[in-house]
């Protein structure tokens, strides 16, 4: 079975669009802040776990915060559906503004919530509510952001420009790590545990409000404007998506499963793994993560440009084959080393093949759908994959560690990446006859069975 992209009898779009770089920056700025807020939770959970949950060993408290992290993922499919539908009906700009507002609300709530010692069970309950709001936000952000960046990019360079989605995600993560490194240098360990961890959430809430204002003046996608201007825009929605584009939806699910599991394993969990298993000091692990992720930024546009030159599938194959072959050796070696330089080189190796997925995550999915269901088609199946697989990565890893079978997690990641390999194998080259190179008039689906 080969999964294709929607064929189209549509009017061609202009091949030159003014202000592409400026629009990419505007589209990425809010994305950066949202993912800063999202990763602040993951980065600072080492410190605030004891504030929200009863006393216990470090692994048990981290497991509790990881479960709440996963709960936030459960809202992502709902966010992908509601905000994806909203973006397809009312515009990418409107959906992106709404998503950053929800994220800011969640961060502020976490920042001001008293600890378990003060309000008891209400503390973790409020934490869960805040994470639900943030999960809804991120679930809608991905599809809307991926769609916006893919639509405004210059034809022939869509892979390059859309790769900046994960550049902004990584910069957001770096910002969270930088705040942690600075605070670790300025505050004592006791201060970090007592109140210092609240500061990054306050910063995220303030930044979110600023971006909410900026996004209100962001230019709308030309694809959506043309779609709205025709007056006969085909109706979108979940029913249309399932009825007319089910194979594309399955393809996005398959591509996202291995990619999202590998992403959260190597960019988020790996730093906790260095501390909790390898015994590397927290400050050193933070520095390793910061340096590696900084280099990861520059891998994205390179991989995106390669996909413009050679196609999306060869680059995606590079990720999936590398992930299947290297995940177990890398995780095993990191767990056995106390040398920070070796840990750094191993993390860089993992990020090199991971960039083959992250750089293409937006464009390879957006090219499969017409304008009327593009944000929903990208956002909903991606959110489902991250909720079921990505959100459970850290809890599964920590639970297996507690059970004494930590190495099983490495094989679980490898198996998930294998699913992305299969999805890449059955997908036709999306950059050929891309639906993004045509306007938003009604399109006929062309999927070969």
Domain for residue 296, yes or no?
yes
Domain for residue 278, yes or no?
yes
- pLDDT value at position 8? 40
Domain for residue 415, yes or no?
yes
Better pLDDT: 100 or 334: 334
pTM: 0.79
Better pLDDT: 318 or 429: 318
Range of the domain at 105: 25-221+240-430
- Mean local confidence (pLDDT), 306-322: 93
Domain for residue 1, yes or no?
no
Do residues 304 and 363 touch, judged by C-beta distance below 8 A? yes
What contacts 390, CB < 8 A, 6 or more positions away? 73, 260, 261, 263, 264
CA–CA dist 388, 169 (Å, integer): 20
- pLDDT value at position 325? 96
CA–CA dist 364, 308 (Å, integer): 11
Q: Residue 5 — pLDDT band, cuts 50, 70, 90?
A: very low
Domain count, the chain: 1
Do residues 390 and 260 touch, judged by C-beta distance below 8 A? yes
Domain for residue 404, yes or no?
yes
Domain for residue 235, yes or no?
no
Domain CATH for 81: 1.20.1250.20
How does pLDDT run across 342-360, given as a tens digit for each residue? 999 999 999 999 999 999 9
How does pLDDT run across 107-131, given as a tens digit for each residue? 999 999 898 778 888 888 888 888 8
Do residues 365 and 164 touch, judged by C-beta distance below 8 A? no
- Mean local confidence (pLDDT), 189-214: 88
Domain for residue 437, yes or no?
no
Residue 229 has pLDDT above 70, yes or no: no
Q: Residue 231 — pLDDT band, cuts 50, 70, 90?
A: low
Which range of 9-23, 105-119, 139-153 scores highest in mean pLDDT? It is 105-119
In DSSP notation, 158-189 reads HHHHHTHHHHHHHHHHHHHHHHHHHHHHHS-H
Task: Name which of 160, 138, 186 is nearest 382 in CA terms.
Answer: 138
Token duo for residue 288: 């390793």
Q: Kindly list the distances between the CA atom of residue 166 and the CA atoms of 160, 161, 162, 214, 302, in Å, as whole numbers in the listed order.
A: 11, 10, 8, 20, 12
Domain for residue 215, yes or no?
yes
How does pLDDT run across 23-64, given as a tens digit for each residue? 787 778 878 887 888 788 877 877 887 788 766 656 666 677
């Amino acid at each position: 079975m080969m999964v294709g992209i929607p064929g189209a009898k549509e009017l061609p779009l202009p091949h030159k669009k003014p202000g592409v770089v400026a629009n990419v920056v505007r589209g990425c700025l809010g994305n950066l802040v949202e993912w800063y807020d999202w990763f602040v939770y993951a980065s600072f959970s080492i410190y605030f776990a004891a504030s929200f949950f009863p006393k216990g060993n470090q692994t048990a408290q981290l497991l509790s915060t990881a479960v709440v992290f996963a709960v936030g993922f459960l809202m992502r499919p709902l966010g992908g559906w509601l905000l994806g539908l909203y973006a397809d009906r009312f515009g990418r700009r409107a959906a992106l503004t709404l998503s950053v507002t929800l994220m800011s609300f969640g961060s502020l709530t976490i920042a001001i919530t008293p600890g378990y010692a003060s309000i008891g069970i209400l503390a973790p309950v409020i934490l869960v509510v805040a994470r639900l709001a943030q999960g809804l936000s991120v679930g809608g952000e991905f599809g809307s952001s991926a769609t916006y960046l893919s639509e405004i990019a210059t034809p022939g360079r869509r892979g390059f420009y859309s790769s900046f989605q994960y550049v902004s995600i990584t910069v957001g993560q770096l910002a969270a790590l930088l705040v942690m490194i600075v605070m670790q240098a300025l505050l004592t360990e006791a201060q970090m545990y007592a109140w210092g961890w609240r500061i990054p959430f306050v910063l995220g809430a303030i930044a979110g409000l600023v971006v909410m204002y900026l996004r209100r003046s962001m230019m709308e996608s030309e694809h959506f404007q043309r779609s709205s201007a025709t007056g006969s825009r085909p109706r979108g929605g979940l029913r249309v998506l399932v009825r007319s584009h089910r194979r594309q939806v399955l393809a996005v699910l398959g591509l996202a499963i291995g990619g999202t599991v590998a992403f959260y394993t190597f960019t988020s969990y790996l730093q906790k793994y260095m501390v909790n298993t390898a015994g590397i000091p927290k400050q050193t692990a933070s520095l390793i993560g910061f340096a590696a992720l900084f280099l990861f930024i520059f891998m994205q546009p390179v991989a995106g440009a390669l996909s413009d030159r050679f196609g999306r599938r060869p680059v995606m194959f590079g990720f999936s084959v590398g992930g299947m072959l290297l995940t177990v050796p890398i995780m095993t070696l990191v767990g056995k080393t106390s040398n920070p330089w070796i840990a750094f080189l191993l993390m860089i190796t993992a990020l090199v093949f991971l960039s083959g997925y992250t750089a293409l995550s937006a464009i390879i999915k957006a090219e499969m759908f017409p304008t009327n269901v593009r944000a929903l088609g990208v956002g909903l199946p991606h959110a489902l994959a991250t909720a079921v697989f990505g959100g459970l990565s850290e809890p599964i890893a920590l639970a297996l560690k507690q059970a004494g079978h930590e190495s099983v997690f490495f094989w679980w990641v490898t198996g998930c990446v294998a699913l992305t390999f299969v999805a890449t194998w059955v997908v036709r080259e999306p950059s050929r006859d891309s639906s993004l190179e045509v306007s938003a008039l009604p399109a006929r689906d062309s999927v070969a069975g």
